[in-house]
Amino acid sequence: MISSKKLVALARKWKTMAGIGRRTIAIPSINPKLAKAGHFVVYSLDEGRFVVPLAYLRTNVFKELFRLSEEEFGLPRDGPITLPCDAAVLEYVISMVQRHDSDMLEKALLVLLGSQQCYSTIASQELC
């Protein structure tokens, strides 16, 4: 049987031998382009990236955003889904859905999105 002192010395030797010729240890990383389970990724016109729960697909606001996106850009084949609004509008929409705001506010937002005047503050240089 080997003593603990010899085992520790042997382990240190193996560690230094394994480290010779290596500069770093490769650590597998998670692909940042993938969404967590139960979520999907959408982009805004100004290339903001949003990870949204799948449950939001049932809301009228997201249904309307996807309809407008299909009208504007067509159906995406290999690329990401881009919604026809800037990041500030999309952040507001997501926060509204998270808070379960009243139907009246949702209807007002649908009218605003449906009017097609609020696609992007970058493109029009005006606030909606």
Placement of tokens 């609020």 in the chain: 118
Q: Which of 111, 81, 107 is nearest to 96 (CA)?
A: 107
pLDDT in tens, 71-106: 888 888 887 889 988 898 889 888 888 888 767 777
What is the C-alpha to C-alpha distance for residues 23 and 21, in angstroms, rounded to an integer?
Answer: 7
Q: Which helix (H) or strand (E) holds 88?
A: helix 87-99
Question: Where exactly are the structural domains of the chain?
Answer: 39-124
Q: Percentage of the chain with pLDDT > 70?
A: 70
- By the 8 A CB rule, do 45 and 82 touch? yes
Q: What is the mean pLDDT of residues 103-126?
A: 59
pTM to 2 decimal places? 0.61
Q: Supply the pLDDT for residue 51.
A: 92
